[in-house]
Amino acid sequence: MTVAKPALRPNVPHFSSGPCAKRPGWTPENLKDASLGRSHRAKVGKAKLKLAIDLTREVLEVPADYRIGIVPASDTGAVEMALWSLLGPRPVTMIAWESFGEGWITDVVKQLKLKDVTKLTAGYGEIPDLAKADKNSDIVFTWNGTTSGVRVPNADWIAADREGLAICDATSAAFAQKLDWSKLDVVTFSWQKALGGEGAHGMLILSPRAVARLESYTPPWPMPKIFRMTKGGKLNEGIFVGETINTPSMLCVEDYLDALNWAKSVGGLKGMTARADANTKVLSDWVAKTPWVDFLAADPAIRSNTSVCLKVVDPAITALPADAQADFAKKLVAAVEKEGAGYDLGAYRDAPPGLRIWCGATVEAADVAALTQWLDWAFAETKATLAKAA
């Protein structure tokens, strides 16, 4: 079977799951007002950092009594700050179904060396039985598994009368999926995911219950300076009004402000979610009529609308040894990239071989539609080459 080379390429062929595509219409000119060469502690710098926090609250619809802080080291830094600062006084339930969730388990068990830890895990494309989460324990989970394309369907499984804290890594869910703030005590994300911002900066959002834990509990282990959120047993409120622990890039801050203002212009959280859903529908419609590809997540209720993961299901390919299947997927991706029709489409290194296509709000549905034509072409070309080699 041959497929004609498509005539139309995506206008923006960026489909990486992080850093993600810049918002439509972005140019470096958008950053001309950045306070470069100025201290982040100067009046202008603090004002921009405070504005970033305020716009985050507005777009994400964060409750007024939740604190929002800008922290170092991207989403990873924000999660680590939460784990090292908050865990210890209660049992912990760790929930993981992909590589980043597994990484948090490693930190809690091998680095913090907590003993009373329950692990609820599932393989790629699946999700654990969330009903088994103990409301008396602290719960740590990812809202959207970036490397598996699996998200929690909702937060109904988190008890409203929970005794422990619900700590949520929401880095590929924020700005594309509605978070149930009443069920979440800690939420983290980074700028380079759903808003297409620049890397190295994380966001840490704390509920009043999380603040109470910080002010009533002192961890028994040494705490690095960049993790410390209290002074004299009280929350360091400066962190949550723009007085960052370490020096942020004011160029990145300007870029984040640009992305947040764009998010407001397309309807805020509701509009951003609708755009991500529309992008994912393009893929869903294509998968439904394309016999060689399917979703890694079989259950539509848990499929991500941002980091969409797909697998090759053509019988001629699935009959190959595992290493040959992985090689086929890599060659398919390489064929698309060589044509400049789609970049960074490969599955995460620890995930099953296949495709991972970012469908967040900064991506245009027309570009996703154009990409699918190139994927069909690349599949046919790669399969034909394989047949000739045989």
pLDDT tens for 217-226 read 999 999 999 9
pLDDT of residue 221: 97
Q: Domain containing 185: what range?
A: 31-264
Confidence bin at 181 (pLDDT 50/70/90): very high
Final residue before a domain boundary, out of 204, 237, 264: 264
Confidence bin at 354 (pLDDT 50/70/90): very high
Are residues 111 and 138 in contact, defined by beta-carbon separation less than 8 angstroms? Answer: no
116-132 exposure pattern, b = at least 16 Cβ within 10 A, e = fewer: ebeebebebbbbbebee
**Identity (one letter) of the amino acid at 356?**
R
Vertex 13 angle, CA 305 and 312, to 5°? 60
State the average pLDDT over residues 59-67. Answer: 98
Residue 291 has pLDDT above 80, yes or no: yes
Q: Do 272 and 183 fall into the same domain?
A: no
Determine how many CB atoms are found less than 10 A away from the CB of residue 31.
18
Would you call 223 exposed, middle or buried from its count of C-beta atoms within 10 A (0-12, 13-18, 19+)?
middle
Q: Do 49 and 179 fall into the same domain?
A: yes
Q: Do 287 and 234 fall into the same domain?
A: no
pLDDT of residue 237: 97
pLDDT of residue 228: 96
Mean residue pLDDT across the chain: 97
State the average pLDDT over residues 314-333. Answer: 97
Q: Do 258 and 289 fall into the same domain?
A: no
pLDDT tens for 8-44 read 999 999 999 999 999 999 999 999 999 999 999 999 9
pLDDT of residue 282: 98
State the average pLDDT over residues 78-98. Answer: 98
Q: Do 150 and 208 fall into the same domain?
A: yes
Confidence bin at 152 (pLDDT 50/70/90): very high
CATH number of the CATH domain containing 145: 3.40.640.10
Query: Is the entire prediction scored with pTM above 0.95?
Result: yes
Report the candidate in 96, 150, 157, 108 with the shortest Cα–Cα distance to residue 125. Answer: 150
Residue 2 has pLDDT above 90, yes or no: no
Final residue before a domain boundary, out of 264, 295, 316: 264
Q: Do 55 and 198 fall into the same domain?
A: yes
Identify whether 7 is part of a domain.
no
Q: Do 57 and 142 fall into the same domain?
A: yes
State the average pLDDT over residues 360-381. Answer: 98
pLDDT of residue 390: 79
Q: Do 130 and 256 fall into the same domain?
A: yes
Final residue before a domain boundary, out of 196, 231, 264: 264
CATH number of the CATH domain containing 294: 3.90.1150.10
pLDDT of residue 369: 98
Residue 57 has pLDDT above 80, yes or no: yes
Report the candidate in 188, 174, 178 with the shortest Cα–Cα distance to residue 140. Answer: 188
State the average pLDDT over residues 263-291. Answer: 98
Identify whether 10 is part of a domain.
no
% the chain with pLDDT above 70: 100
